[in-house]
Amino acid sequence: MPKPGSKQAVCSCGFKQEAQNVTLTESQKQKTPEIAVIEKETTVNTITDADCNKCANKQAEYWEVQTRAADEPATRFYKCTKCKHTWREYK
């Protein structure tokens, strides 16, 4: 319990200690930026001929990602242009 008239240093974790030679500072929380809501999904991926095994559509977007070691080929991902089903192909 602090003595009357004394000051305490208090941490956000709950630790309290009698303070000596105290310099007080203020800090303000910064506002978090607003998150944009995307109404419509747009694509920048290449569209190719690929058979969707879910809806039998014949076109899909594709992109490649290096998911394994650098000396291994990249993994190609496909996304159906009709039902948005996503699958991958290893080479």
- For residue 26, indicate whether it is catalytic: no
Q: Which of 26, 34, 39, 71 is catalytic?
A: 71
**Phi/psi zone of residue 14: left (φ > 0), alpha (ψ -120 to 50 degrees), beta?**
left
Q: Which of 18, 51, 72, 89 is catalytic?
A: 72
- For residue 51, indicate whether it is catalytic: no
Active site residues: 71-72
